Amino acid sequence: MPNITLRDIAKALGLSVSTVSKALRDSYEISDATKKRVADFARANHYLPNRMAQSLKDGKSGSIGVVVCSIDNSFVSRMLDGIDGICTAAGYDIIIMQSKESLLQERACLKQLEARGVDGILISPSAETVDMGHIDELAGGMPVVLFDRINDRPDIFQVGIDNRDGAFLATQHLIDSGFRRIAMLNIGPGVYFADQRGSGYRDALVANGIGVREEYVRICTPSDREMLKKSVNENIKALFSFHDKPEALFTTTDQLSTLSLSAIHELGLQIPADIALIGFSNTEFADMLTPPLSTVYQPAFEIGSKAAEMLVRLLGGKEPDDYETIMLPVRLDVRESSRFSD
């Protein structure tokens, strides 16, 4: 059966070709009811847009670039699921690229996507991205939305969580569980979301009259997974070399959480008997780990879908009144790894 065309859809629904085209591109000029009617008909009849013809006609590629730190990460995978669902429904293909936490590679990814003529970009900046000048330059020529790793700038579109609040909740939970000597593994320095999580940890200690012990604050190198693993192992060993060993550990990223769990086990130590553990993690296996891992749960799928919705709106042609930052709530999931052990 030959592929149906925009004209076929328009004739079947009693609409103009222009209206159908705009509806499939999620234009602000078309009502939500008409968009749904067109999308449902197109999906039911297996409509496949002619990307090449569309690109030549309106100067758009029908594709969106997505840059993430790594796809070898359950949290990132969930965000990509959210992005894919929204982009597909809006008629956009996505091109996914990985920075591997490298600023140099992130720049290369953005240049490649720009060269391919993507219509817009979704980016979760690398751990090395402190100066965002290259992203600002790109945003001058096309819509760009930051997701997950957001900052406090008022002049950019972004979707993420309140990182400081999430870290405060995790540290407060450890304090409420009876722990006082609490260490933190973080990445950085100069990475905004990591700095915010560090602030939440410090603020919780101070709020409870517990001094911040700088030797308990350990910074890990996130350049690649092997280097990160080595850095985590070294820092865990260093923490257990102290006379006053920490009773609990807060880890600020998904990878730091799972690598710390492994490093502690390799030292022959028990969680939480020797040290309690809680961290930012969205692994689906948190409750199946040994022991089940307490986590600050981030709504990964929703972060991805909200960011994609924001970008699709921008691509629809409607100029927003102002830049927008969406902050989604986190959730504290308490499991065996952070329970006080007598």
User: Superfamily assignment of 60-160+300-328 in CATH?
Assistant: Response regulator (3.40.50.2300)
pLDDT of residue 1: 42
Q: Which CATH architecture has domain 163-297+331-338?
A: 3-Layer(aba) Sandwich (3.40)
With beta carbons less than 8 A apart as the criterion, state whether 173 and 332 touch: yes
pLDDT surpassing 70 at residue 292: yes
pLDDT of residue 44: 85
- Least reliable range by pLDDT among 248-262, 275-289, 311-325: 275-289
With beta carbons less than 8 A apart as the criterion, state whether 175 and 204 touch: yes
With beta carbons less than 8 A apart as the criterion, state whether 108 and 67 touch: no
Q: What is the mean pLDDT of residues 255-283?
A: 89
Beta-carbon contacts of 45 under 8 Å, excluding residues fewer than 6 positions away, are 4, 8, 9
Residue listed under structure tokens 């996914």: 96
Alpha carbon distance 236, 184 (integer Å)? 10
pLDDT surpassing 50 at residue 58: yes
CATH topology agreement for domains 6-48 and 163-297+331-338: no
Alpha carbon distance 40, 20 (integer Å)? 12
Tell me the two tokens of residue 285: 């296996």
Per-residue pLDDT band at 289 (split at 50, 70, 90):
low
Q: pLDDT averaged over the chain?
A: 87
pLDDT of residue 105: 94
pLDDT of residue 22: 82
Per-residue pLDDT band at 284 (split at 50, 70, 90):
low
pLDDT 10s digits, 91-140:
999 999 999 888 999 999 999 998 888 999 999 999 888 888 899 888 88
Instruction: Give the 3-state DSSP-derived string for the chain, with helices as H, strands as E and coil as C.
Output: CCCCCHHHHHHHHCCCHHHHHHHHCCCCCCCHHHHHHHHHHHHHCCCCCCHHHHHHHHCCCCEEEEEECCCCCHHHHHHHHHHHHHHHHCCCEEEEEECCCCHHHHHHHHHHHHHCCCCEEEECCCCCCCCCHHHHHHHCCCCEEEEECCCCCCCCEEEEECHHHHHHHHHHHHHHCCCCCEEEEEECCCCHHHHHHHHHHHHHHHHCCCCCCHHHEEEECCCCHHHHHHHHHHHHHHHHCCCCCCCEEEECCHHHHHHHHHHHHHCCCCCCCCCEEEEECCCCCHHHCCCCCEEEECCHHHHHHHHHHHHHHHHCCCCCCCCCEEEECCEEECCHHHCCCC
- Least reliable range by pLDDT among 6-10, 55-59, 215-219, 253-257: 55-59
Q: What is the mean pLDDT of residues 280-295?
A: 72
pLDDT surpassing 70 at residue 2: no
With beta carbons less than 8 A apart as the criterion, state whether 335 and 278 touch: no
- In this prediction the pTM is 0.77
pLDDT 10s digits, 165-201:
999 999 999 999 999 999 999 987 778 899 999 999 9
pLDDT 10s digits, 217-240:
999 876 677 888 899 999 999 999
Give just the sign of the alpha carbon dihedral 216, 221, 225, 227.
negative
Spans of all domains in the chain:
6-48, 60-160+300-328, 163-297+331-338
Alpha carbon distance 225, 220 (integer Å)? 11
Q: What is the largest CA-CA distance in the chain?
A: 79
Is the N-terminal amide bond of 292 cis, ω within 30° of 0? no
Question: In this prediction, what percent of the chain has a pLDDT beyond 70?
Answer: 90
Alpha carbon distance 214, 110 (integer Å)? 37
pLDDT of residue 288: 55
Alpha carbon distance 72, 331 (integer Å)? 23
pLDDT surpassing 60 at residue 51: no
- Least reliable range by pLDDT among 142-146, 280-284, 286-290, 299-303: 286-290
Alpha carbon distance 316, 321 (integer Å)? 14
pLDDT of residue 322: 83
pLDDT of residue 117: 87
pLDDT surpassing 70 at residue 31: yes
User: Among the CATH numbers 1.10.287, 1.10.3210, 1.10.3470, 1.10.260, which is that of 6-48?
Assistant: 1.10.260
Q: What is the mean pLDDT of residues 269-273?
A: 92
